[in-house]
Structure 1
Amino acid sequence: MALDSTELCDRYEQLYPGAVTDALDELGYGDRTLPAEINPLSDDDQMAGIAYPAHGYPDEDCDYDANIRRFLQMLGEAPAESVAVYQTRDDAAAHLGELSTTALAAQGCRGAVIDGGVRDVRYILDQEFPVFTRYRTPADAPPRWRLADWDVPVTIGDVEIRPGDVLLGDADGVVCVPQSVSKEVLVAAEETVETENMVRSAVSDGMDPLTAYEQYDEF
């Protein structure tokens, strides 16, 4: 099945993390959901895109100018259809703000997943740019957190996220689909959603849950 990244992301965006997680489980790829502490800024946020990971660590002695230049280079290299993913190893700084999301949106990025903090939340919500994060703080990252590298594998919780993996998020949380099985999982999840729609209709029409499960092998 030949799919370009836009079509792949658009089809994933029609799904939801629960269905994709179920498909991953059935195919033997369990434990691909990010920690429950990572949540959307708005329950209306929905995101599907290609992982563009970065990582760093707290460092209050970093060279501010050199550090922010690396930030801006990293943002400028974010490809269209991507989701910026930060592994921060930090609990104090805001690693993403409104100017960063403005730049990412302008480049055709689809969202951001920050295992760390964000700020400028009102402005980001006005942009309707999907952001998933662990906490909020006004303390900016460049003076107190060093960006180490980007477009490299990172680990958030127990999930390794590689460049090219698919990230899907909504109010339930975020799931990561390995690039190597992204098309297989997509088809399986679409079939799951189709079956769930039939189950929902049958139960709404009065079929009892056990009978529905026995008939459709899904609930």
Structure 2
Amino acid sequence: MTMSEPLDPNVARAAKLDTATLSDALDKLGIAGQCYRIKPRDVNFRMTGRAWTLLYGPAGKPCGTVGDYIDDVPPGSIVVLDNGGRDNATVWGDILTEIAHRRGIAGTLIDGVCRDTALCRQLGYPIFSKDHWMRTGKDRVQVEATGVPVNIGDARVAPGDIVRGDADGVLVIPKEHESAVLDTAEAIEVAEEAIRNAVRGGMRLDEARKQFKYHQLQTRQEG
């Protein structure tokens, strides 16, 4: 096992599921965990791990630091940076990418923008953010707190929550609900595979969907 591989059973389970399936499970359980408008900087990026969180705010006077935290992030974690959705100042660049990749950190998630995207693509280090731009966050934003709940694309992310990202985007599975979400997602995946196999065997799609209760898969359960 390398440092970047999942460190616990539920992270390993989440890594086997795509975000579309997990999103359906979140919807069924009434949990808002999808991070709106957050995208991978490369469609080939995949990441799964537990959240290590940091909150930014506007820089004061004198200005606080943008943060020298990276050596404190456990291997296998996802660095989750809440920069308030700012698109005019970055909080992640090539030095952090290189160190995070070398230390076996599983990826970075930003409610905001990053820069130096060529290196993350070259190294295959996953970064998910609203966009990318070159202007530094130095003297524009500062660290307010680490290890606190943050907001990423209108989704609440608490320290230790499971973060899963792929080509379709990124979502968070709250720690207190992760077993229920994963159980539901795995059941959805089994049903959808059964539908595909039935259609490949000659069954009409509408019949297969009815037999395997497709239209109930994402319907929010009551209670």
Class of the TM-score when normalised by the shorter of the 2 chains: 0.7 to 0.9
Q: Residue 62 of structure 1 contacts residue 146 of structure 1 at CA under 8 Å; is this kept in 2? A: no
Q: Establish whether residue 98 from structure 1 lines up as the match of residue 99 from structure 2.
A: no
Q: Equivalent residue for 2:44?
A: 44
Q: Equivalent residue for 2:119?
A: 123
Shift of residue 184 of structure 1? 2.4
Q: Establish whether residue 182 from structure 1 lines up as the match of residue 178 from structure 2.
A: yes
Q: Residue 6 of structure 1 contacts residue 81 of structure 1 at CA under 8 Å; is this kept in 2? A: no
Task: Spell out the pairing of 1:55-94 with structure 2 (5 A cutoff).
Answer: 55-59=55-59, 61-63=61-63, 67-68=65-66, 71-72=67-68, 74-89=69-84, 90-94=86-90
Q: Which runs of 5+ in 1 are unaligned?
A: none
Q: Equivalent residue for 2:33?
A: 32
Do the aligned partners of residues 140 and 67 (structure 1) sit closer, same or farther apart at CA in structure 2, a change above 3 Å counting? same
SS in 2 for 1:92: strand
Distance (whole Å) between structure 2 residues aligned to residue 56 and residue 216 of structure 1: 46
Q: Residue 40 of structure 2 contacts residue 169 of structure 2 at CA under 8 Å; is this kept in 1? A: yes
Do the aligned partners of residues 106 and 62 (structure 1) sit closer, same or farther apart at CA in structure 2, a change above 3 Å counting? farther
Distance (whole Å) between structure 1 residues aligned to residue 60 and residue 90 of structure 2: 14
TM-score (norm 1): 0.87
Partner AA of 1:44 in structure 2: N
State the percentage of identical aligned residues: 28
Partner AA of 1:109 in structure 2: I
Do the aligned partners of residues 108 and 6 (structure 1) sit closer, same or farther apart at CA in structure 2, a change above 3 Å counting? farther
Shift of residue 62 of structure 1? 4.6
Residues paired across the two proteins, number: 209
Distance (whole Å) between structure 2 residues aligned to residue 54 and residue 156 of structure 1: 11
Shift of residue 16 of structure 1? 0.6
TM-score (norm 2): 0.86
> Per-residue CA shift, 1:172-205, capped at 9, x if unaligned?
1111111011122222212221221121122233
